[in-house]
Amino acid sequence: MGLGLWLRLGLGLGLGLGLGLGLGVVGCDGADGGVPPEIRGLTLGATTNPMPMGDDEAVHGVVEFTDPDGDAESIAFEVLLPDGTVQDLPPQPVDGLGDHKLGTVSFSLTYSRDTMGPYEVTVWLVDSQGLVSNRLTGITYSRM
């Protein structure tokens, strides 16, 4: 079963999302005073056209983030496949992410449709200090 990160990561600025900076960070500071990023609003959307089993399918997603330190640098994924197998994708750098304290990150994952059923996608951000955001999970379904 081939699951891989599509080389399409994007950064969108959410300049109107200034509310909520610093929410949920009490007690989460790193040893050197850093604050982990926070994510919310995960949206997943699979390919809309039915495809034969064995073909690749893309799942497109968007997640909003806030990062008071402005040092978030990568996005990571864990995918629970319909057969119960868990596949971890290591953190992938997102160009320009660390320059912003809030915004959206869009991504695409592709996988080979060997099994029909739900694919549970968990997403999180990692900052330059190795601090990890909260994790959000969404479900997309592979269908014929």
CA distances from 98 to 65, 68, 85 (A): 11, 11, 32
Give the separation between CA 126 and CA 49, rounded to whole angstroms: 33
How do the domains of the chain map onto residue ranges? Answer: 3-15+35-142
Return the pLDDT at 39.
97
Average pLDDT over the chain, rounded to an integer: 74
Higher model confidence: residue 15 or residue 75? 75
Beta-strand ranges (E) seen in 1-101 are 3-12, 38-46, 56-66, 72-80, 86-93
Give the separation between CA 107 and CA 11, rounded to whole angstroms: 9
Spatial contact of 75 and 94, defined as CB atoms under 8 Å apart: yes
pLDDT tens per residue, range 63-107 = 999 999 999 999 999 989 888 989 888 898 888 887 799 999 988
Return the pLDDT at 59.
81
Give the separation between CA 109 and CA 121, rounded to whole angstroms: 10
Give the separation between CA 61 and CA 47, rounded to whole angstroms: 11
Pairing state between β 72-80 and 117-127: antiparallel
Query: If DSSP codes are grouped into helix, strand and coil, which group holds residue 93?
Result: strand
Q: Does domain 3-15+35-142 have CATH number 3.30.2130.10?
A: no
